[in-house]
């Protein structure tokens, strides 16, 4: 029984050490509740390094942002609306749609650790650079970051009614 409690204590202390040793600071919102162009805004802190933001754009798309990472800055974007890729899409159309949606967010002038315009261009031209680019394949966002802190963009998934992508940079 003593061994069990010793192991439990060790796990708890390692868990606390891992959270304290995180390189990333507290997750911050990209937007504010009274940001023009947003409706139904919510920001929810999930932990010291994770948070969610959700809102609806004036154009109707619902947006869910998930901020996180410890050694990396990571923001996941999920856009959903019946108008997004409503007829399905080729890979080229999906990457183009992801870029267009990021451009809409950029116009709102939120506070982001990423250059949304450069990330949008990267996604929009990914299929031209590599015709067989896969979902989930990392794309270097040229001009956003240095060698060891180069921003990466990934189109995670896309289909009728949604586009999901991720931007990340690190290790910190």
Q: What is the mean pLDDT of the chain?
A: 86
Question: Residue 34, exposed/middle/buried by CB under 10 A (0-12, 13-18, 19+)?
Answer: exposed
Tokens of 95: 């990457």
149 — pLDDT class (breaks 50, 70, 90): confident
21 — pLDDT class (breaks 50, 70, 90): confident
- pLDDT higher at 172 or 152: 152
Mean pLDDT of the region 45-66: 95
pLDDT for 67: 96
pLDDT for 20: 60
Lowest mean pLDDT among 1-5, 77-81, 129-133: 1-5
Instruction: Report CA 151 to chain centroid distance, whole Å.
Output: 11
pTM for this model (two decimals): 0.85
Q: Does 9 score more than 70 pLDDT?
A: no
Per DSSP, the three-state class of 39 is: strand
Q: What is the pLDDT of residues 92-118, one digit of tens each?
A: 999 999 999 999 999 999 999 899 999
Distance CA 136, CA 126 (A): 12
Mean pLDDT of the region 73-78: 96
Asked if residue 19 lies in contact with residue 60, where contact means CB atoms within 8 angstroms, the answer is: no
């Amino acid at each position: 029984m003593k061994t069990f409690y010793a192991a439990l204590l060790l796990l708890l202390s390692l868990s606390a050490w891992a959270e304290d040793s995180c390189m990333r600071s507290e997750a911050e919102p990209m937007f504010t509740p009274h940001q023009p162009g947003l409706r139904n805004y919510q920001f929810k802190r999930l932990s010291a390094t994770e948070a969610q933001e959700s809102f609806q754009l004036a154009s109707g798309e619902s947006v869910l942002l998930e901020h996180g990472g410890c050694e990396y800055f990571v923001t996941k974007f999920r856009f959903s609306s019946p108008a997004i890729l409503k007829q399905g899409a080729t890979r080229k159309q999906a990457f183009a749609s992801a870029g267009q949606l990021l451009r809409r967010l950029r116009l709102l002038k939120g506070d982001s650790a990423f250059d949304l315009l450069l990330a949008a261009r990267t996604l929009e031209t990914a299929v031209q650079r590599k015709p067989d680019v896969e979902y989930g394949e990392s794309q270097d966002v040229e001009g956003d970051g240095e060698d060891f802190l180069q921003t990466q963009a990934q189109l995670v998934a896309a289909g009728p009614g949604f586009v999901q992508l991720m931007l990340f940079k690190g290790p910190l």
